[in-house]
Structure 1
């Protein structure tokens, strides 16, 4: 409201972002994204189109202007009216008014007093909210201090308090090699030590109740393991089992029971696409599934024992980015749903008294920390961790809280080849943002590209020219995660996936803009759509067959049909339509199969797992990311001759789950880039 009032006070004038931020948030440091979020909300309420605005106009790289007419509702006040501190109050005997003016003046008075009452109420509510926010961490009105627990090179994530609250274990991602190891830091000192000498990739640390051991998940050349290491020894850990497929390791995937008798983690049963919570009995080493998610759902994730051992909390996801919090009794298995947001929940933890859950979510826009009680079931935003806050951890001391906070610079890089030699490839950033811009898809002539972006507050599909200008928002789904754009071969339509009803489905929209058309339906999840070579069919990944497969549907909609028996993602037809190429969600390499079905054959060992979007089929061959041990490159593979050639070397490894796009047989290549990324651990202590 203050943003709107500030703009209306200077109607017709361009108000810079800096002026708006300093006026609306004079004593608080906020970024441009907070202002962008406010503008987005105002446009949604007024149903304003940013391309043809009737209310608020965006002035690129400068600020905003209110273009709607502004008029002030005047309240008539008589000269002899008594005042209190300079403010007029109604007299007991108002001056006579002509009957034709009476009703008009009365309405104006009502409006004036209503506005005044609203402002008073708003001020009181703001004061009450501020005082209430001071009690959210511990339940008492206390002050607290913020400490930067880690600020080392690389990234530090996944904090976990020791049972006595004196130490914090965390995952340290090195800056040079991107290796992941677990370290322990003593609070109040600079003492940091590595947990083990093990060289495995390590995730999700959780302390034993006696504080002597830390369990964690690990990945090595042998596969996946659940390991337990002694805190006071660098000896190699004890590997207990090989889980089939732990999900979302960076979001808290392991929890040790307060009794010390069991560990819980998410895993898959056989080839089932959904995950459930598994319990490992540490006395017998037997495992069993303790939750059963609905069919067609992504499954159950982020398990956490309550400190008193009575409950297990977890998130249940209808789709990866659509989750709610559930908790179940460890004694009876009785299940309760705690939130009904249908938004993304990154991770969660219990308060020390087991009465509430603190979680990271984008329910308020950017990811922040929230608290919800088991009884009142009303989420409240914490006064700390309000932006870019993830992976909360609560200590045993009242008020102690740690969380991960970070940021990065995202860019879409243009690699343009001026001749046939690798040395002639030029690189420049066509888009740069502190919000995530990724997954570019070029138009057939290479003049424009679509991409997914969070620059409007929610992730939507945007379009820009190859030079990065003529930027415009294409979709306005206003909340549900929307991404994976794919430009048609005829250049007039764009596919994408979105989650307006809790499940992901495929949509199509004209490249010029307009209302999207939904092409798939049901309780399954459909993602990463791609066009056939003639734009007559659409391929996509789906779990509608009780496992992840590639499916195909007519471009005008209809009944989808399976294409592969195994997993597949980012499907792409060859230019002649003879082959369907694809990657897999959790495996390295590229496969192919005839579009009508047949043998599914692996033809390349790259790109590596999690980089499944970094490749494209062209008439020149398959462009793909080769993530080598020492450096990364884009290479071209000819499926007919089996010959591989170098397109260009890359300075840095690009971020996962994003992608590249190719047009004009490689004359233009766009790739997602992330740099200056930093995630570190913040510690909150009550005073």
Structure 2
């Protein structure tokens, strides 16, 4: 290779010109032979850390280099891909003095220009370390200020979550989550990048999002401690690490968002106080130690739940996200003085973070659609929304004074796996359907001998089916919207699933009929449903419904929509195991059994007088959705602090046996479990170990 000419020279003395960036990649691989070079390292050194450009450019460079460097038999590979790691040069560099005779011995690496020789057909030259560095600086493509620039802030193993930059942007606090350690807050000093992040919190308690005070002295975060059933919002003085409890927060629920007003006087947080129905956003006055939280969110009989929020830079309004159901969450702007409400987005499924641009004219937010995260800029005045055009963007946060944008880059991908059961030799789950897309919630039909599942191959989660090997796949729906939780009927001729409808405040149960290839909607009187299963005769759907007064399982006729409530204990998910027997789970831990009463094929169950039987104790059975019944017992999921476990409970022996232990980040804990009896294997959704890093973004849209 001859870098100064941007060319490769072959043994027959012919030359092939290639792009300068390709030369830089090849030189870097040669200089560090035989080490495997991570993609991030190549992007950092060849594209100056600009991963926005470098991610795709590096893939393109490797492909072109392989085409250029193939041997005469067109099979020899020069660059090896190490999956999920990076690239490695397969040919040992030989440094040759370019000014010497072709037959001269190999010289030292101190020569001004040297040559790297590959056996067979290729000779190429590479510059030594000092000259290489000089050439990179001389020939590097000038910075284009019209392009986005992404810089890596953290890149440790595990997941670094929820960035919280100090006002001047010199320090970034984040939550670090690994499979082997409990999550805690850490702080990264950007003025001393060689130093490891410093740990700020300690112990086994759960910590959530954090926010800095505008004067840069304090950090606020919530901490939930299961050991003493407590949750508190904490004020941490960053310089001395002194902690001060501010207010209690709810021990139930997973929302721990916080924000602080521009004058540092008001802290917004998720809390709960009676007589509110459930948790919501509260304000507390930080200038008065005796102040009590004041409810901001709707308190009772609400049609939505408010999740994330952010004060505007002028303190006059607050942007909030409101979740109507699992398919609908959007951003609203509330004037704090008049309480006037304005909807800013429409058609979003899941908002994953929002922050105000310091100029007060724009909001930056992350949205997750079919498990793909992207970032957007929303102009407050025009309501125009622009896309950053790359994946993985979530939980953005601006440094208020430096105006730098930080965000969490995280990819989520799921695949279908099967676990062989009853083997003498321990087995690991085998991939059934694994690709660049995500596949969820498999359910097996004995009658059809096929799997129904949801896949986002089309850009939306649609209904698919395949055989038990993951072959002969077929997409059944083309709704161009997210569907969830497919479930075969007992007869195997229909599949029920949950999906949105045009109304923003409703979802419906859909039924796909395989005999007619038609799609219908169950005419339910309810607005919000949960995972559907089938009655024993397939004439009705068993689904929890969400009403203002309660949530419980209902028996819904698929033709008439007639609905009968089955329980009064907060049940969420049920499976019919005989014409009259329902197994279910819900708010109460444990697996419960209820006998239903029918007369002339019509249900007249009186749940008030028909008390359920505790089939499996809540001491060991705590999952809501991840379980599957067999005649002998039940397969179910167990969650531990540092791992997940799939176990089998034998009804006759009344004993639980562990089957599989997995790292907590690699099992989708809301997945269905489905037994394939003929193969004696268990189906479920697995997750790739997530890697989440904190990055900063400079973009023309900002």
Compute the TM-score of the two structures, normalised by the length of structure 2.
Answer: 0.70
Distance apart, 1:459 and its partner CA: 1.2
Cα deviation, residue 643, structure 1: 2.7
* 1:338 paired residue among 341, 344, 348: 344
Q: Which among 225, 230, 234 is matched to residue 220 of structure 1?
A: 225
- Is 2:202 aligned against 1:200? no
Structure 2 counterparts to residues 544-623 of structure 1, below 5 A = 544-575=547-578, 577-584=580-587, 589-595=590-596, 596=605, 597=607, 598-599=610-611, 603-605=616-618, 612-623=624-635
Report the equivalent of 1:500: 501
Corresponding residue for 1:301? 307
Provide the C-alpha distance between the structure 1 equivalents of 2:444 and 2:148, rounded to a whole number of angstroms: 50
Q: Distance in 2 between matches of 1:389 and 1:324?
A: 17
316, 320, 324: which one aligns with 1:314: 320
User: Is 1:176 equivalent to 2:173 in the alignment?
Assistant: no
Per-residue CA deviation, residues 620-673 of structure 1 (Å, 9 max, x unaligned), is: 211112334565432222446533234445576512222321132882210211
2:534–2:540 CA contact under 8 A, matched in 1:
yes
Give the Å deviation of 1:267: 4.9
Q: Is the alpha carbon distance of 1:332 and 1:416 closer, same or farther for their aligned partners in structure 2, counting shifts above 3 Å?
A: same
Post-superposition offset of 1:536: 3.0
Q: Separation in 1 of the partners of 2:175 and 2:220?
A: 13
Residues 213 and 260 in structure 2, CA contact (< 8 A), matched pair in contact too: yes
Q: CA deviation at 1:29?
A: 5.6
**What residue number does 1:389 align with?**
393
**Separation of aligned partners in 1, 2:516 and 2:695:** 43
Query: Which residue of structure 2 aligns with residue 468 of structure 1?
Result: 470
Q: Determine the structure 2 residue equivalent to 1:633.
A: 645
Would the alpha carbon gap of residues 677 and 629 (structure 1) be closer, same or farther in structure 2, given more than 3 Å must change?
closer
Shift in alpha-carbon separation, 1:285–1:505, aligned structure 2, 3 A: farther
Matched, 1:485 2:486: yes
Q: Distance in 2 between matches of 1:316 and 1:648?
A: 38
Change (3 A) 1:627 1:511: farther
Indicate how the Cα distance of structure 1 residues 187 and 607 shifts in structure 2: closer, same or farther if over 3 A, else same. farther
Q: Are 1:673 and 2:686 an aligned pair?
A: yes
Task: State how far apart, in whole Å, the 2-side matches of 1:436 and 1:606 are.
Answer: 33
Moved more, 536-545 or 660-669: 660-669
For structure 1, which segment, 310-319 or 168-177, has the greater mean C-alpha deviation from structure 2 after superposition?
168-177
Whether 1:358 and 2:364 are equivalent positions in the alignment is yes
Residues 569 and 586 in structure 2, CA contact (< 8 A), matched pair in contact too = no
Q: Which residue of 1 aligns with 2:405?
A: 401
Decide whether the 8 Å contact of 1:446 with 1:663 is kept in 2: no
Please provide the CA RMSD for this pair. Answer: 3.2
Kept in 1: contact 2:537–2:579 (CA 8 A): no
Where does structure 2 lack aligned partners over 5 or more consecutive residues?
1-52, 58-143, 597-604
Question: Aligned pair 1:151/2:155, yes or no?
Answer: yes
Structure 1 residue 153 displacement after superposition = 0.5
Relative to 1, partners in 2 of residues 1:206 and 1:414: Cα closer, same or farther, differing over 3 Å?
Answer: same
1:642 equivalent in alignment to 2:654 = yes
Asked whether the equivalents of residues 445 and 663 of structure 1 are also in contact (C-alpha less than 8 Å), the reply is no
Aligned partner of 2:675 in structure 1 is: 662
Please give the per-residue CA displacement for 1:435-488, whole angstroms capped at 9, x wherever unaligned: 321211111258211112212111112111100101111222212x21111111
Please report how far the alpha carbon of residue 363 of structure 1 lies from its aligned counterpart in structure 2 after TM superposition.
6.8
What is aligned with 1:7?
none
Q: CA deviation at 1:357?
A: 0.9
Does the Cα contact within 8 Å between 2:523 and 2:559 map onto a contact in 1?
A: no
For residues 651 and 422 of structure 1, what CA distance do their matches in structure 2 show? 23
- DSSP-derived class of the 1:495 partner: strand
Q: How does 1:516-527 map to 2 (within 5 A)?
A: 516-521=519-524, 524-527=527-530
Counterparts of 2:625 and 2:470, CA distance in 1: 21
* Partner residue in 1 for 2:599: none
Gaps spanning 5+ residues in structure 1: where?
Answer: 1-26, 32-133, 135-140
Instruction: Pick which of 386-395 and 227-236 moved more.
Output: 227-236
TM-aligned CA distance change 1:516 to 1:244, over 3 Å: farther
